[in-house]
């Protein structure tokens, strides 16, 4: 029983760490694609097309016989998941990046756990009990605040800079003095960028909430992700055609644009979204969102290794707080799961306990 409980706790954490690594690599590749002058709305359309091309055959192979039947309600839910989880989230995300800077966008990402916590409470996907024995609820609040504070410190306080290692690798070296680098930053509108970033975070949180509800009614994660990718690709292609009429922007060669579009579609919009959907179903939206500041740390390490960026005192202190906040929330969630499993362990004599699946499947809906 103890081993099963530990395995059920480690598996979602491992999946979310892998997910954040995949997203971190994409954020670094985003920088490389942006400086080539490619329209990022077109890039999002290609990303979702690659995702659909990867997930549809995978869903057919793995869930052909086990998935529930499709109906108009499921298709409409997939349309909404594609709209909020792919089209709006990603296009507003890159619009914020174009109007501000990667640092500003990182600051917006820090708001994700707080927004998700509030919305999850409103939709009763998270429970909040304040009292003498409510250690799990207090831990979730404290951990979320500490994580957001650490991410804010990471973003806004620099301090002295230093270099931990010297790899002599800088993939942006050839673009530092190019016209594309300057043209990509000429649209500087912080307030409009703030609204775009906030809209992206709200849309992503809405997707997390919807995914938690949909996964209960349609337990086919591969098919659900495939349908979401199809709907998102159709929506994004239509939007990209409306905003970009230059057909040269749609051309892909054997270069960084093609490889990044393929990676983002297959590994991020395909594999990472599936992993997040699974974790939302098993552990709830808050569990997924508290890992988002971890992306900032991984991007900082990757940017230092491959883009020639330096560390700062603020990034180190903020990174420590992010990790501490994450551990506090995970501790609170583990205590919450133990309380949920405690009644089951005292019902061994009841026939209903025999039909209960592994501790990995724990209800998160309050």
pLDDT single digits (tens) 178-213: 444 444 444 567 778 888 888 998 999 999 889 888
285, 208 Cβ separation under 8 angstroms? yes
* Element at 114 (helix H, strand E): helix 112-122
Query: How many residues appear in the chain?
Result: 366
Indicate whether 54 pLDDT > 90. Answer: yes
Q: Where are the domains of the chain?
A: 2-346
Could you give the count of Cα atoms lying within 13 Å of 265 in the half-sphere of its Cβ? Answer: 27
Indicate whether 364 pLDDT > 80. Answer: no
Range in 204-213, 226-235, 340-349 the model is least confident about: 340-349
Indicate whether 366 pLDDT > 50. Answer: no
Q: What is the pLDDT of residue 229?
A: 95
| 283: confidence class by pLDDT, cuts 50, 70, 90 | confident
* Element at 52 (helix H, strand E): helix 40-63
| 109: confidence class by pLDDT, cuts 50, 70, 90 | confident
Considering just the CA atoms, what is the radius of gyration of the chain in Å? 21
How far is Cα 198 from Cα 95, in angstroms, rounded to an integer? 11
Cα distances from 282 to residues 93, 142, 289, 358, 362, in angstroms, run: 27, 22, 14, 11, 6
How far is Cα 361 from Cα 330, in angstroms, rounded to an integer? 17
What token pair was written down for 128? Answer: 């909040």
How far is Cα 327 from Cα 329, in angstroms, rounded to an integer? 6
| 107: confidence class by pLDDT, cuts 50, 70, 90 | low
Q: What is the pLDDT of residue 349?
A: 43
Indicate whether 146 pLDDT > 70. Answer: yes
Indicate whether 5 pLDDT > 60. Answer: no
Name the most confidently modeled range: 71-80, 176-185, 333-342.
71-80
| 273: confidence class by pLDDT, cuts 50, 70, 90 | very high
């Amino acid at each position: 029983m103890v081993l099963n409980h530990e395995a059920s706790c480690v598996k979602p954490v491992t999946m979310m760490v892998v997910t954040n690594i995949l997203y971190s690599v994409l954020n670094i590749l985003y920088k490389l694609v942006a400086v080539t002058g490619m329209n990022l709305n077109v890039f999002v359309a290609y990303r979702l097309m690659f995702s659909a091309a990867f997930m549809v055959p995978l869903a057919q192979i793995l869930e052909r016989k086990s998935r529930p039947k499709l109906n108009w309600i499921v298709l409409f839910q997939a349309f909404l998941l594609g709209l909020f989880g792919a089209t709006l989230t990603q296009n507003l995300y890159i619009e914020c990046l174009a109007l501000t800077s990667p640092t500003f966008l990182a600051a917006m990402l820090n708001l994700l756990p707080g927004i998700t916590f509030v919305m999850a409470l409103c939709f009763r996907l998270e429970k909040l009990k304040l009292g003498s024995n409510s250690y799990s609820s207090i831990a979730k609040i404290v951990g979320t605040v500490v994580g957001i504070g650490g991410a804010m410190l990471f973003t806004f306080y620099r301090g002295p800079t230093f270099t931990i290692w010297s790899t002599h690798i800088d993939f942006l070296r050839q673009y530092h003095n190019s016209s594309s680098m300057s043209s990509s930053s000429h649209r500087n509108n912080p307030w409009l960028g703030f609204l775009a970033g906030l809209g992206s975070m709200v849309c992503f949180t809405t997707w997390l909430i919807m995914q938690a509800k949909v996964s209960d009614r349609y337990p086919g994660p591969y098919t659900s992700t495939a349908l979401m990718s199809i709907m998102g690709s159709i929506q994004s292609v239509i939007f990209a055609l409306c905003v970009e009429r230059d057909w040269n922007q749609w051309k892909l060669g054997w270069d960084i644009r093609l490889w990044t579009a393929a990676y983002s579609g297959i590994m991020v919009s395909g594999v990472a979204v599936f992993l997040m959907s699974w974790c939302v179903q098993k552990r709830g939206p808050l569990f997924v969102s508290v890992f988002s500041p971890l992306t900032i740390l991984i991007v900082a390490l990757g940017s230092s290794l491959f883009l020639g960026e330096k560390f700062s005192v603020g990034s180190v202190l903020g990174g420590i707080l992010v990790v501490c906040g994450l551990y506090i929330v995970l501790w609170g969630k583990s205590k919450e799961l133990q309380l949920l499993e405690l009644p089951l362990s005292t019902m061994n004599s009841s026939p209903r306990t025999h039909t209960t699946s592994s501790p990995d499947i724990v209800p998160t809906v309050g």
